């Protein structure tokens, strides 16, 4: 099977390529505009790199030649910047995804797995978050992902495409050195022995899923030609203070923490119900958080030269 991965040079893209290559039997095309990920980040992996932007229909048409399935990871995933500049977030996420869907329709590619998000779409709902909850985005980022889910549903119904929207929880793991999410950020700061900053009182909870487990869920959705919305996380909430304590433990470093006020648009408590993904996709995240953090810390230490620390 030939699989095109948009955002393929990014953290999750690289993890997914490594998992697919380990299984064998796939030809992988990584499509990326290198606004965050870089082609050298996946130079050690068995794939073909194509430079391009998902808002460029001609570039997508060329990349889709002979493709059997698409994994759509390219996006502007930053919550706070989406509040500051919603037009950019809309352009990258909604217009870009629509351009991809149209290019797939023209090329006759019928299978899509699209990266979405849970908490940012459902908003300040009582967790655990499930696919059945009504959407109430708190940020333009969440609204953009909800719009993309809507287009995926419409294209599945209107054009016979298999479109799975996978709502990722907080993903962490090796290869995340360019990522701005909390685990990668805190590890970079710990390597530099910088004070960690928590916006809030540290009691806020998230669902942290190891990237290898998430990649296996994506592969299951490809293999099964799944359609619909699925939550991919662990179903286990972890307070931010507990996350910091685990990072201190696995790193052997005690780094000071500075607490600042909560930020607008951010959710205080969210984790997800993964029963639907278990039933339909056979999804089974197996990596305990402490183990995943230890593996991530070791990867960052081994690759610290790339970080300049």
Average pLDDT, the chain: 95
- Residue with the bigger pLDDT between 288 and 266: it is 288
Q: Furthest-apart CA pair in the chain: how many Å?
A: 55
By three-state DSSP, how is residue 28 classified? strand
Residue 131 has pLDDT above 90, yes or no: yes
Alpha-carbon distance values, 72 to 263, 291, 301 (Å):
29, 28, 30
Q: pTM for the complete prediction? A: 0.95
Work out whether the CA dihedral 16, 21, 22, 24 comes out positive or negative: positive
pLDDT in the model for residue 143: 96
Q: pLDDT, tens digit, for every residue of 276-300?
A: 999 999 999 999 999 999 999 999 9
Q: Contact, 147 vs 106, CB < 8 A?
A: no
**2-173+208-235+272-286 CATH pick, 1.10.1740.10, 3.30.830.10, 3.30.70.270, 3.40.50.720:** 3.40.50.720
Query: Catalytic amino acids?
Result: 141
pLDDT in the model for residue 5: 98
Lookup: tokens for 171:
């993903």
pLDDT in the model for residue 119: 79
């Amino acid at each position: 099977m030939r699989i095109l991965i948009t955002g393929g040079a990014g953290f999750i893209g690289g993890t997914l390529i490594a998992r697919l290559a380990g299984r064998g039997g796939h030809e992988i095309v990584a499509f990326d505009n290198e606004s965050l990920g870089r082609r050298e980040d996946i130079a050690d992996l068995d794939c073909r790199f194509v430079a391009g932007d998902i808002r460029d229909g001609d570039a997508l048409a060329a990349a889709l030649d002979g493709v059997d399935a698409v994994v759509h990871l390219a996006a502007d995933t930053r919550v706070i910047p989406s509040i500051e500049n919603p037009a950019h977030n809309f352009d990258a996420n909604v217009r870009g995804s629509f351009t991809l869907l149209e290019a797939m329709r023209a090329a006759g590619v019928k299978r899509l797995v699209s990266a979405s998000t849970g908490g940012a779409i459902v908003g300040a709902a009582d967790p655990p978050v499930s696919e059945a909850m009504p959407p109430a985005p708190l940020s333009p980022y969440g609204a953009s992902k909800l719009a993309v889910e809507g287009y995926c549903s419409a294209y599945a119904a209107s054009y016979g495409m298999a479109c799975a929207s996978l709502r990722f929880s907080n993903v962490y793991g090796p290869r995340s050195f360019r990522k701005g999410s909390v685990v990668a950020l805190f590890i970079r700061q710990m390597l530099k022995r910088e004070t960690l900053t928590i916006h809030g009182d540290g009691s806020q909870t998230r669902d942290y899923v190891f990237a290898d487990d998430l990649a296996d869920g994506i592969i299951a959705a490809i293999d099964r030609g799944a359609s619909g919305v699925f939550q991919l996380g662990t179903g286990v909430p972890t307070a931010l203070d507990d996350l910091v304590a685990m990072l201190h433990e696995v790193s052997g470093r005690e780094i000071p923490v500075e607490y600042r006020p909560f930020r607008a648009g951010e959710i205080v408590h969210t984790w997800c119900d993964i029963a639907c993904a278990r039933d339909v996709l056979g999804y089974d995240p197996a990596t305990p958080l402490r183990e995943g953090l230890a593996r991530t810390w070791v990867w960052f230490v081994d690759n610290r030269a790339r970080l300049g620390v």
